[in-house]
Amino acid sequence: MSSFCPIPTEQQPLNEYQTLNNSFLFYWPSQKLEIYIFYLSIIYLFGFLLSLTITINNGFYLSRPFDTILNAIIGGNFILILDLCRLYLGWFYICQRLLSATVSYEESGWYDGQVWVKTSEVLIKDRLVGIYQVRPILDRLKQTLGIIFLFLGFIVLIR
């Protein structure tokens, strides 16, 4: 059985996984829990400070400081949710390509979409990476989003 793969190297699912995993913006969920939490904290702090600045510029912070802080917390969570959704969609795309038995690709860049059926060797290797490397990342992102939505629900109830 031939292991020839007509897909350009940068479009092969395993290479896309390695590129995404080495990317500065996408490698955080695959790291240790401490590093992941540090990353989330930095993103949240950025969103919180940005929202606090916007809320303070409205001029109501002196009369309603509690609402000002709650608005900043909600804004920080919103920025964090946007970032987590971006991470989830990127990893989900790679997972789908790794687990699929066929791969769509473009050979010349002229939108001449081709489909390649993976050989059994490539399919097994890709599925192992998809199941044991990418799915835990997706699960971590889902759990994080769930926790943030619970926290936001609590904040909305307080308000």
| Structure confidence at residue 110 (pLDDT) | 67
pTM value? Answer: 0.89
148, part of any domain: yes
120, part of any domain: no
56, part of any domain: yes
35, part of any domain: yes
The number of folded domains in the chain is: 1
Residues 6+ apart with CB under 8 A from 80: 40, 43, 44, 47, 148
92-96-97 Cα angle (round to 5): 120
| Structure confidence at residue 156 (pLDDT) | 87
The answer to whether residues 20 and 96 touch, using CB atoms and an 8 Å cutoff, is no
Looking at the DSSP bridge assignments, the partners of residue 106 are: 113
Segment 41-84, tens digit of pLDDT: 999 999 999 999 998 987 777 778 888 999 999 999 999 999 99
Residue-range definition of the domain harbouring residue 145: 10-17+31-97+134-158
Query: Phi, psi at residue 116, to the nearest 5°?
Result: -120, 130
47, part of any domain: yes
Segments of the chain with pLDDT less than 50:
1-2
| Structure confidence at residue 104 (pLDDT) | 87
82, part of any domain: yes
Q: Residue 143: CA atoms inside 13 Å, Cβ hemisphere, count?
A: 10
